Amino acid sequence: MTPTDDRFDVAIIGLGPVGGALANILGAYGIRTVVLERRPAAYHLPRAVAFDDEIMRIFQSLGLSDQMAGITAVGEGVDFVDADGNVLVTWPRPKVLSPNGWYVNYRFHQPALEQVLRDGMARYPHVSVRPGSEVTNIGQDSRGVTLTVAGNGGSGVGVVRAAFVVGCDGANSFTRQAMGAEIDDLGFNEPWVVVDLMLEEERADLTPQSIHHCDPARSATYVFIGAGRRRWEFRLRPEDDPAAITEPENVWRLLSNWITPDEAELERAVVYTFRSAVAMSWRRGRVMIAGDAAHLMPPFMGQGMCAGIRDAFNLGWKLDRVINRGAALDLLDTYQSERDAHVRAFIELTVQMGRVINTTADALAAGNVVELGEGRQEISQLRPALGPGLKAGTSAVTGHLFPQPRLPSGERLDDRIGGRWALIVGNEHRNSVPAGVAGRAREEGIAVIAEESPELREWFESSGLAAVVLRPDRYILGGVADIKDVGSLIDWR
């Protein structure tokens, strides 16, 4: 079989939230993209239920934040409690805007979120979707990748040719297997039954505050999803039959301390094995993986989907540089080196959360943890830096996410920048940028922000820097303390 005229810049395997986000990112860059999804229709049941302020900021960059706000509810904090209701660990998430310009927690029904992403993809005529297309073979050469596709959107077996392939095909990723990528098992492997309910009526006691019930006998988690929807998760005991425990009578027995069959409809009950693992290789030549195909974490922080969408945002602008701007392929080497360390920080804290839930005895040791006394702890939002990768100027802030203030015009910073790089100049230096540097930056498509802003003033004073350059994913490439050196940040590109 020889390649047909089905030739694309990028083929995405899998159309969940990560594949959908990546397709929107590539679409905005004008990259000819095909999404191959083995299911004939969108999956109709919830899986992921939460995302954070950084992810809403990414949706903002895709022009989808208004739509996402319409299908989400703002979540609140999380408490870890013992059998008597005593709080062991608390994670407050007040309803105030974060430095990213959004709330730190949003809850949603995944089919609604996926529909927003699918509708977003429809804006781009150069992005196509082929439901009912299962990739059965991946072969590559120095110029591209050849995919054998069964079903092929209803037209039998076919061949798709793309310059690059990104597997967003989940925990059992065919792409990862085809790459021969080994898995680094990080040691958390537990079966839990996940129960989703639709309430007959809202109940005031089932609040947006999520609760982990820490009990060595039977750990349980209550999760607010949004109006009319709730989730409970229960750790299986060794004697539990995974098939029998999902029978309705057994599910309602588990739920009996909180809710009865008269108060809600059982939407689904399914056993999942919560795992912590990271693929050892995220790229082989022109084939890459993202999301659950690249890493798995238990759901206790609600960061699994978030990590995958961060993968997509990191990888998307780099593919643009390679495909549209002639950058060398080795730019793609920074994808795993930057994202791997970042996602492992979340996995480490998530696994520790799981141990607290299961034992009531351990304390958290990783992440942003504060001791409150009397054995209680408080977690704050974890914001790790990227791992080793691209950098310029001083490295103290390299790899950290830059905040998103409102500018004097009232615009959010990212709306001004768009999909570009950006040179951000501290308030007191905005009139001291060397002659020609700002003009050269604009000629190269770099947004220049040199405006009076209280939030920017505070950030630059605390960092001791005069200017920084932001990448298209809003992470800092590097900065300079002396405004005379700002040209070196531009020269890097």
In angstroms, the CA 455 to CA 299 distance is: 33
303 and 419 assigned to the same domain: no
Residues 6+ apart with CB under 8 A from 341: 384, 385, 386, 387, 388
Please indicate, yes or no, whether residues 19 and 156 belong to a single structural domain of this protein: yes
Residues belonging to the chain: 493
Residue 301 lies in a domain: yes
Structural domain containing residue 164: 7-69+108-183+277-341
Residues 167 and 55 in one domain: yes
**Mean pLDDT (10-residue bins), the chain, 493 residues:** 65 98 98 96 87 98 98 94 87 93 96 97 97 96 95 83 98 97 95 96 93 90 94 96 97 97 96 96 98 96 96 98 95 98 95 82 68 77 94 90 95 95 91 88 91 90 94 96 91 72
Residue 228 is assigned to a structural domain of this protein: no
What pTM does this model have? 0.95
- Contact predicate 414/482, CB 8 Å: no
Residues with Cβ < 8 Å from 85, sequence gap 6 or more? none
Please give the Cα distance from 473 to 57 (Å, whole number).
10
Per the structure, the count of domains in the chain is 2
Task: Give the strand pairing for 447-449 and 422-425.
Answer: parallel
Q: Is residue 55 in a domain?
A: yes
Asked whether residue 283 is assigned to any structural domain, the reply reads yes
Assigned domain for 264 exists: no
Structure-block tokens of residue 203: 């109940």
319, 458: one domain = no
CATH number of the domain enclosing 450? 3.40.30.120
Q: Is 51 in the same domain as 177?
A: yes
Q: Does residue 156 share a domain with residue 43?
A: yes
Which of 341, 366, 383 is where one domain is finished? 341
Residues 477 and 331 in one domain: no
Task: Give yes or no: residues 334 and 429 share one domain.
Answer: no
Q: Which of 341, 361, 386 is the last residue of a domain?
A: 341
Give the Cα separation of 309 and 473 in Å (integer).
11
CA distance 378 to 358: 18
Paired residues of 370 in beta bridges: 378
341, 363, 389 — which closes off a domain? 341
What is the pLDDT at residue 365? 63
d(CA 134, CA 158): 10
